[in-house]
Amino acid sequence: MAFIVVATNNAHKVDEYRRLMAGEDVELQSLLDYPGCPAIEENGTTFAENAGIKAMEASRYCQMPAFADDSGLEVEALDGAPGIYSSRYAPTDPERIAKLLKELEGKENRRARFVCAIAIAWNGEVIETFEGEVRGVIAAAPSGSNGFGYDPVFIPDGYEQSFAELPPEVKNRISHRANAFAKAQAFVEEQLSLLGDLL
Ligand code: IMP
């Protein structure tokens, strides 16, 4: 059994990753298992940079292989905002959603995408970074109670319900996080098989 830490305190993200890793012989820990870990400052200017900072710090503090994601919502009519500031756009999820809907009032273009960068780190160094996205539109009003964050107002392309209304299995199949994670998983499997050839 291998161990890996995901550098987050967000129980929803941990749950999504546990589901994505179901069937793997890997035990997933998170920063919730390391309450002494100092808060990690996300002072990067891109999703990839922030994911790298979090993964590096977690691998160093936990002395384990670690990965981290940095994710957010980019809205076309708002020139990509809230982007890397998605979690800081307003104090709470309902306030963030209210602010977003207000900013979009009267705007015809409601296209948006969720982006997720995942970085893998070991011994305090980033090994590789991957990016995934899911495209869709911002609904006129929030609906549904699954998921977290902006899920109640994000309707992915090809669906009529928001991420918060769709079953978690659907979100976990098509989400930005699932897409980035599939790339990271393929990379890890390739590295392990190269290592196997050498041994
Ligand atoms: P961070 O990646 O934890 O820095 O924060 C990303 C922020 O983007 C979250 O707090 C949410 O507001 C938003 N976000 C990222 N991924 C999702 C998602 O899957 N659903 C809804 N909101 C998300």
The catalytic position among 69, 70, 93, 157 is 70
Ligand 1 neighbour 17 (Cβ under 6 A):
no
Domain residue spans in the chain? 2-198
Q: Which residue among 71, 74, 135 is best mutated to probe the pocket of ligand 1, counting the most ligand atoms within 8 A of its Cβ?
A: 71
Say how many Å lie between the CA of residue 13 and the centre of ligand 1.
Answer: 9
Residue 70 among the catalytic residues: yes
Positive/negative CA dihedral, 151, 40, 178, 167: negative
For 27-81, give the DSSP string: EEEEGGG-TTSPPPP---SSHHHHHHHHHHHHHHHHTS-EEEEEEEEEEGGGTT-
Say how many Å lie between the CA of residue 97 and the centre of ligand 1.
Answer: 12
Ligand 1 neighbour 49 (Cβ under 6 A):
no
Q: What is the pLDDT along the chain (199 residues), one digit of tens a residue?
A: 788 999 999 999 899 899 988 888 889 999 999 999 999 998 999 999 999 999 999 999 999 999 999 999 999 999 999 999 999 999 999 999 999 999 999 999 999 999 999 999 999 999 999 999 999 999 999 999 999 999 999 999 999 999 999 999 999 999 999 999 999 989 988 887 776 676 6
Say how many Å lie between the CA of residue 163 and the centre of ligand 1.
Answer: 12
Say how many Å lie between the CA of residue 87 and the centre of ligand 1.
Answer: 6
pTM of the complete model: 0.92
Q: Kind of pairing, strands 26-30 and 2-6?
A: parallel
Question: Domain spanning 2-198: which CATH class is it, in words?
Answer: alpha beta
